[in-house]
Chains A and B, each alone.
Chain A
Amino acid sequence: DQQVKQNSPSLSVQEGRISILNCDYTNSMFDYFLWYKKYPAEGPTFLISISSIKDKNEDGRFTVFLNKSAKHLSLHIVPSQPGDSAVYFCAASRDINKFYFGSGTKLNVKP
């Protein structure tokens, strides 16, 4: 049973607009969350993180929001760029080693 779910396998957005990627989790013990970006034929690369003591973390064009009561997090990319086209994975953990990953959302940013 997957503890981290990304229910949208794909998302298409126009360049310059906002991309919103969503992630839900089932384990209320999770206290640290990460987003990874993956290009074809490459390994995932770390993008941004948030701990459960916060509800928002921002890094440039990327912002992660955490709603603990809903067990939901989202990644906002503003403005979206064609180079952002990739597969995005969210991951959650209750210790610093064992992360549970979602199945990924493929983002396509159209020029």
Chain B
Amino acid sequence: DAGVIQSPRHEVTEMGQEVTLRCKLISGHNSLFWYRQTMMRGLELLIYFNNNVPIDDSGMPEDRFSAKMPNASFSTLKIQPSEPRDSAVYFCASSFPAEGVYEQYFGPGTRLTVT
């Protein structure tokens, strides 16, 4: 299995532009998580889905952020409009949570720079 796949790996955009980050889950996993890593706040959970349904989006910073899971294997995180403070590394992770099995498998991340 190729693991969790994220694209693009790097994104540089100007303030005000729309940014779409993409994630492909590991086959068979049914939970999907979006995280953001910054120097100030470390690794923070933005939103997670279970069986394609958003369960907890309390970490989404504001309405400029939205996430979708159109099918069981794919998700997008959209920022519109983007701002310089959105610059960070965005990770998605997937898992198949079960009793005694909690590990999440992370993708390589997308480094976003908003100028």
Q: Residues of A at under 8 Å CB distance from B? A: 2, 32, 34, 36, 41-46, 49, 51, 89, 93, 96-104
Contacts and interface: CB of A to CB of B under 8 A. Distances in A.
Contact of A97 (B50, B100, B106): B50
Interface string B46-69: 001010000110000000000000
B104 interface: yes
Chain B CB within 10 Å, residue with most, of A42, A43, A93, A102: A43
B106 A43 contact: yes
A98 B104 contact: no
A41 B91 CA distance: 11
Contacts of B84: none
Contacts of B25: none
A93 B102 contact: yes
Contact of B102 (A44, A49, A89, A100): A49
Given A43-B4, A43-B109, A97-B48, A103 B56 contact: no
B4 A89 contact: no
Contacts of A36: 106
Interface residues of B, number: 27
Interface string B21-51: 0000000000101010000011111001010
A7 to B, nearest CB: 12
Given A43-B4, A43-B93, A99 B44 contact: no
A97 B45 CA distance: 10
A32 B33 CA distance: 18
Contact of B105 (A46, A49, A89, A93): A46
A19 B45 CA distance: 28
Nearest to A33: B102
Chain B CB within 10 Å, residue with most, of A2, A45, A101: A101
7 contacts: A34-B102, A41-B109, A43-B93, A43-B108, A44-B43, A44-B106, A97-B95
Chain A CB within 10 Å, residue with most, of B41, B44, B56, B102: B102
